[in-house]
Structure 1
Amino acid sequence: MGGTFEPLAGGGAAVALDEIEVSILRSLAVQLLELIGPGPQAEDADPLAALFAEGPTEAPSDPALARLFPDAYGGPGAPTEGPRAAETKAHAAEFRRFTENDLRTRKREDALEVVRTLDALTPGGDGGAVLELTGTQPLRWLGALNDLRLTIAARLEITEDDEAGVLFRLPDSDPRKPMVMAYLWLGGLQETLVETLTP
């Protein structure tokens, strides 16, 4: 089972992780949480008010956050000038205002689930452990793995999967190499987790 998810009898998925892999996954999830930002601060806040709270209207300036929270309208081929461009921008801002807070909450909860499940692992004699995901955990992990890959891809300026292959051939002395290896490893985890959940 080393390094790839396999289906659990009765549903769910399991993967064997060594001590270093657990540490890397946890560190990446914590960094993702820091990037996404804190959740609602006031514990006694009115839940109804929070439900209708408006979010930002502008796309994030950080490329990684822009990849995690893209505009719902526009994109490649969309007009950049004139009335159509202004209309597209207005629609994107309106959509973002009512959806980004919920999307941030979901992404934060996915990353927190990764941290919690890793913290609950009981190491074996060799320092490794078998991570078992059941219930909603596999879907939370899928979301977090995807967000981690999007974030790393933004930092590496990867736009297409074939670019990752070019980066894979970077010399070991290149400072991007560890991030490229993490990107490819997370992709393998994500792919095998999807396969375990596909009937």
Structure 2
Amino acid sequence: MPGTFEPLPGGGASVALDDVEISIIRSLAVQLLELIGPGPAEDEAPADPLAQLFAEGPSEPPSDPVLKRLFPDAYRDPETPGNPHEAAEQRAHSAEFRRYTENDLRAGKRENALAVIHSLNALTPGEDGPAVLELTTAESRRWLGALNDLRLAIGARLEITEEDDTDDFYRLPDEDPRKPMVMAYLWLGGLQETLVSTLMA
């Protein structure tokens, strides 16, 4: 049965996680970090904070389908490109927007994944049951961002769209090779939902 986040007095959230659950989330967060890639090395980063803010990033969308889901184009819908002139304008706007935002987006996703890993590393599972993870409100928001990114990544690998009925995934036979990934996707969704409810309480 998936764990659920519960509110802490004074703000924040807590959830009980066993060894297997801790290992799964940590492993997925590490894989997400590897996919997003490292940040700029200290000797490559601009010394001027203002220059760093406007440092240019990539202008083309990523080729990997997971990264495409994590860093989508801002100004065009690939399903409805419109007329050729309009599509060219949207591509140009998307490239410009991506050039000045993707580095920051990657940094934010990297920090969220690292926050998850650090908080799990600090846990000491109890001998008689699961460990209880306690998060501040700020840490909870980082977890929420990371859980969302993990579900987007798994959803992209499974080719899940917003229109897909996830109830069908509960009925997958055990021998289906997608089953472990689907169960992780659904479990993370439950965690995400209860964390949202906790933060809105």
- Counterpart of 2:62 in structure 1: which amino acid? P
Greater than 4 Å deviation, 4+ residue runs:
none
Tell me whether 30-39 or 124-133 shows the greater mean CA deviation: 124-133
- Counterpart of 1:29 in structure 2: which amino acid? A
Tell me whether 18-27 or 36-45 shows the greater mean CA deviation: 36-45
Identity of matched residues, %? 70
Tell me whether 118-127 or 42-51 shows the greater mean CA deviation: 42-51
Q: CA RMSD in A?
A: 1.8
Q: Deviations over 1:50-107 (max 9, x none)?
A: 3221010111111100000000011155335521110010000000000000000000
Work out the CA distance in 1 between the residues paired with 2:182 and 2:2: 20
Q: Does 1:75 align with 2:77?
A: yes
Aligned to 2:112: 110
Which runs of no fewer than 5 residues in structure 2 stay unpaired? Answer: none
Aligned to 1:166: 168
Work out the CA distance in 2 between the residues paired with 1:165 and 1:39: 38
State TM-score, norm by structure 1: 0.94
State TM-score, norm by structure 2: 0.93
Which runs of no fewer than 5 residues in structure 1 stay unpaired? Answer: none
Work out the CA distance in 1 between the residues paired with 2:45 and 2:92: 30
Tell me whether 120-129 or 152-161 shows the greater mean CA deviation: 120-129
Q: How many residues align?
A: 199
Partner SS state of residue 188, structure 2: helix
Asked if the contact 2:13/2:137 (under 8 Å) is kept, the reply is no
